[in-house]
Each structure stands twice: as structure tokens, then as C-alpha cells.
Amino acid sequence: MKTKHVFLIALTIMTASCSKQQTTGIDLQNLDTTVIAQNDFYRYACGGWMERNPLTAEYSRFGSFDKLAENNRKQLNELIEGIAAKPQRQGTLGQKIADIYNLAMDTTRRNAEGIEPLRESLDAIAAISDRSQLSLALGKSMDYALWAMYVDADELNSSMNILKTYQAGFGLGEKEYYFDEDENTLKIRNAYQQHIARMFGLFGYADGDALAQTVMRLETRLAGAAKTNVELRDPMANYNKMSIADLKTLVPEVDWDVFLGAMNIHTDSVSVGQVKHLQEAGRMLAEEPLEDLKTLFAWQTINGAAAYLSDEIYMANFDFYGKVLSGKEEPSPLWKRAVSTVNGTLGEAVGQVYVKKYFPPKAKARMVQLVKNLQTALGERIDEQDWMSDTTKQQAHEKLATFYVKIGYPDKWRDYSDLQIDKAESYYANLQRAAKFEQEYSLSFIDKPVDRDKWYMTPQTVNAYYNPSTNEICFPAGILQYPFFDMNADDAFNYGAIGVVIGHEMTHGFDDQGAQFDKDGNLHNWWTEEDKKKFEARTRVMAAFFDKIEVAPGVYGNGELTLGENIADHGGLNISFQAFRNATQKHPLQVRDGFTPEQRFFLAYANLWAGNIRPEQILVQTKSDPHSLGRWRVNGALPHINAWYEAWNVTPESPLYVAPEDRVSIW
């Protein structure tokens, strides 16, 4: 689907001239001073935090932003429980929040219902008796799919929305899990097949082993035609706009009139994201035995519902996806899962309550000013690049000037009037209705002008994003807290933390993907050919550097997959450090807590990535996550920042030292 770059970000910043004595913001307990900073800056800056925050059984990874998310969950749970504990008038947002939360918490009812909430869906699959019924079944289903349909901005006409397809249909998510032959992947693949067989058995199917073999064969066929995560990063290669008539020719095995009619889609055009995958899905519908296709559909239905049924089924699902795949020891407590469900179902409704209590209007106003400070610094950085021509610099400045900034929460809230939550029905039935509501909401934008005020994250989300099609940067209220911002800390801390991540999101507009979109959000080259070649040469240095990082014994990073995020980290650090220098030029900060202001800047940045992670999760993220692991967002990013060498007196004897001529230099 459309690339939206996400990071983490925070509130506003205090100026050095504030009359109140400010702290450094640095928690000295986070440090591990037994480590030489120049040898392992990540461990030096974060080792104390890691010791004080060991992984608990429910986590495969736990870091600074997870800790903030925990606090947010507690705040949300308090708000939601308060609503759920009181009678609510039918049809109100309060009633919907209360009923979905109470349904999520009622395991006694789900245990009594067992697999019955899924009975109707599975019976409908079993009733498919002819191949001609498949297009209708796929169009109507909220349970299974061989490809996804969604609506987003047209990359070549960003002011208008268009219907799009996206590869889907394989339960392990990443193509590599079906084909890599290393020991860990083989272990996961075998465990997945055993998990499928076990789940079929829990739902009363005979010969689960044979059914699991069928599922693996069909999922592997789909995955074989799918693109890798690296290939999915190429926006032009994943843009294939055509008429519906041409779609019928491209994939004739699908009755598109029937399929689109079942989804109530009326349009003349579509952008096929991954052509080979969609063609292979069509061929499967024509070539594979009908009973095998029905087996795959049944598995997708079971797999999608498993987290919302009885405890027995939930735990069987967790045993694979939680324990085997990620290394977790225990599932999250029920209340956390319930809060997540309410967030996923009625996100902006909860958001309205959240910002009213936890995000004052003055915070939003101050954040606006901080973003402007970072924009100024990025403009200065653009001017300083001696490898760019004046022509390209002018285009870059125009794009920077048109950034659309969203902070805290939307100016207009979503309408949930048409979403019906009925506590008389099962938890699963209500979630199915909510999924249908979301689908209809998305499809309602087909062929309509893009709404630039639409948010792609809820206000309570602990994250941030850049969207290339609208050239927007968005910072939800949920992330605008310590350790990303400290109201009482000085500029060294706040620019090192929030400033870097704001700069990160801005840089996404100029990373290897974002740089392909112009100021209006169109996929259009605004570079001179010579400058484009120079830019690509510099990005290759970044990719090659991260390719050589050994993240686990015998396992190396994927520099192409993480390229965009690594460029954004690099730009964010350079831009914010420049903004920090600008802000403190007339009022220099002093050495405090034994550290210079410049040293505190880099400690604040490193502390954003303090965390612990299980070996299994390292392997999962290396295969699938476009972000480098937290350790390498510090020890991999800082060796390319000249100011870090000066601040910490890093010499060629340091294991982290990179010769000046080998360092990345982009923004």
C-alpha cells in the first residue's frame, strides 16, 4: 500500500533564554559508564536503561517508546473503563466504546461460544460448489482474500483518489519465510505448518496435516509471485494504472464485474500494485482444485479470527505468532488487548476523549513553532550541499515550503454514526461489522478529491509519519511526551530528542523514495539528471554500510530495505544539530552533569532507542522492518555525523570510527 514513513516524535521545545532554571533532561541512570562511549555509544548511553527495564514475558522487544506506549495504554484504559462502567445511550459513541470494550473483556462468554461465531463463515465456504462462484465469494468476504483492495491518492495525480490492489494471501507475511533455507527460517516454516494443522483440528476438521500441506503449497505459490519488501519500496514499479477493461484482460480468470459489484465498487480505473502476484492469484482460481482453494479460504478465516474467540484458540494462535515467531513468553494482559481493539475500531472517537484530557491547545501551538525552526534548518542544509545544483536546490526549497503539518489531533473528527455495535451479538460478529464499516469508509473515497485533512493515525498513537502523496508530516498527541520532549529540559536535550525526529520526518520528503515525489505529491522527477545520479551514489554508500552490519551471528542487516529510514535518521541528526546551534548561538549552554551541550544532544538522541529485544525478534525485524534495529540507529547512524566525532572526541582508534571520505553525506 502507499508508503507512509513512520518514526517517533514529541512535543515542543523551550528556549535557552527561559527564565526558569532548566534541567539537562538526561537521566544519568540510563548510562553504563563501565563502557567506553567511543567504543559502543549505544551501550554507554543506554546500558543503564536496559538493565533497569528487562524484557517481561509479554514482550519480544521493549524500548523507550514502548514504555511511553504503556503509559498511554493506562491512560486510555482509565478513560475507556470510565465510559464502560456507566450506562450509555444507544447509538452514542459512548455506547459503542463501552460495548466493544466489555465484549473484549468477556472471556467467559467467548469460551462458552467456542467456534460458533465462525460457524456461518466456514459453512459458507464449504457451500461453494462451483468455480464460477469464487469471484462473488471473494468480493463479499471480510474473512479471506488473495489480494487486497484499497483507495489512496493517485501517485501521478495526487489531488485525486484511485482504487488500488495490493499483494496478499500468505499468512507469514514476508515472502522470504517461504523460500529462505537458513536454520531459523526452516524452523519457522515447519512450525507454521504444524500450527495450521493444530488450528484446523481445534475447529473440528479431519486430517489437519493434509490440510496444512495444502495451505502451505498455495501460500507458497502466492508468495513466489509476490514482491520482496525491497521491491515494494520502488513507487514507480508498484504503480500500474489501467482501465477496468484492461484489468479484465490482464486477469481474465476473475469475473471483475461480479467481484467489484459485490464490494459495491463503481469506477473506470484501477492501479494494480503488483502485477505478477495478481495474475498468479487469477491463475490459481482457474487451475487449483476447488477444494484446495476452499481449504485456503477456511484457513484465512480461522487465522484472522483466532485472536477474538475462546481462550484455547487464542493461546494456540499465540503459541506460534507470539512464542515461535517473536520469542514472547506470555500474551499481553486482557485489558491491553481490549484497549487495542477499541482503538482499532473507534480510534478517533477515543482520540477525542484522550486529547481533551491529555493534550492542551497550547501544546499544539508551540509544536507549530518548533516545526518552523526545523524547516529553517533544513533549508540551510539544502543550501550547504555542494553536490546539488542551484536548479535542484530551488525545487527542494519549494517542496520544503509546501510541507503540510499536522499536530496533535484532526481539525475535524470521523463520523461513526453508521457503525453499529450490538452487544447481543458475539465479539467476533461486531468486529466483522467494524471491518466492513472500515472497508466502506475507504471505498467511499474512490475517484474523489484527496482530503488533505484526513489523518492516517489516531491522536493517541505513539508514532509519527510522512506521507509523500500529500507532502505532509504528522505528529499525533500520543507521542508528544517524555522522553521525546521534556518541558523542563534545556535545548540540548529537546533538540537531540524531538528535534531529531522532526527532522527525520522532514527528511523523508527527500529520502530515496520521498525524493521521487514533487511538492504537490506527484510521482515526478524534479531533479536534474546529474544531481539525481549524485544523490543515488550517496545513498548507495548508506545501503552498503548497513549491509555489512552483523545484527546476529551470521545475519546481516538489509541496507536496501532500511535505506529510507537510515537516510531520514541521518538527515534528522544533521538538521536538528544545526537548529540547535542556531537556537543557542546567542545564549550558549554550559557544561552540566559532566557533559557539554553537544554531548547531551547525542545522549538524548541515543536514549530514544534504548531497549531490549529477543533474538527471535531481531530476525523478524531484519526480514521485515524498514527501520534498522535500535542499536544500529545509534551505532550505525552516529558514525556518519561529523558533529558527533567533535562532541565525543572520537578518534580512528574507535571501533565505530568511519573515515571522513567513507561517511555518508546527503542532507
Over residues 419-477, the pLDDT tens digits come to: 999 999 999 999 999 999 999 999 999 999 999 999 999 999 988 999 999 999 998 98
Q: What is the CATH number of domain 5-76+338-412+453-662?
A: 3.40.390.10
On the question of pLDDT at 631 being above 80, the answer is yes
On the question of pLDDT at 152 being above 90, the answer is yes
Percent of the chain past pLDDT 70, that is, above it, reads 96
Grid coordinates standing for 452?
488533505
Which residues of the chain does CATH 1.10.1380.10 include? 130-291
The pLDDT of residue 8 is 38
pLDDT tens-digit readout, 119-135: 999 999 999 999 999 99
DSSP labels, 328-350? -SSPPPHHHHHHHHHHHHHHHHH
pTM summary value: 0.91
* Residues 6+ away with beta carbon under 8 Å from 606: 41, 42, 45, 46, 634, 638
Grid coordinates standing for 505?
520526518
On the question of pLDDT at 327 being above 70, the answer is yes
CA distance 21 to 133: 72
- Kindly report the average pLDDT of the chain as a whole number: 93
pLDDT tens-digit readout, 343-393: 999 999 999 999 988 887 766 776 777 788 999 999 999 999 999 999 999
On the question of pLDDT at 227 being above 60, the answer is yes
β-sheet with 147-154: strand ranges across: 147-154, 157-167, 269-272, 241-243
* Residues 6+ away with beta carbon under 8 Å from 620: 60, 325, 326
Burial 517-546 (b: 16+ CB within 10 A, else e): bbbebbbeebbeeebeebbeebbeebbebb
* Residues 6+ away with beta carbon under 8 Å from 154: 160, 161, 162, 241, 271
Grid coordinates standing for 174?
514476508
On the question of pLDDT at 10 being above 60, the answer is no
List, in sequence order, every beta strand (DSSP E) within 398-485.
Answer: 404-408, 465-467, 472-476
15: pLDDT confidence band, cut at 50, 70 and 90?
Answer: very low
pLDDT (mean) for 17-32: 79
The pLDDT of residue 20 is 54
pLDDT tens-digit readout, 50-79: 999 999 999 999 999 899 999 999 999 999
Q: What Rg value do the Cα atoms of the chain yield, rounded?
A: 25
CA distance 310 to 661: 59
The neighbour count for residue 357, using CB atoms within 10 Å, is 10
13: pLDDT confidence band, cut at 50, 70 and 90?
Answer: very low
Q: Is 217 helix (H, G, I), strand (E, B) or coil?
A: helix
Which residues of the chain does CATH 3.40.390.10 include? 5-76+338-412+453-662
Dihedral sign of CA atoms 22, 24, 26, 32 in order: negative
Cα angle at 337 between 331 and 338, to 5 degrees?
150
Q: Which fold has domain 130-291?
A: Neutral endopeptidase; domain 2 (1.10.1380)
Among 7-16, 306-315, 464-473, the least confident range: 7-16
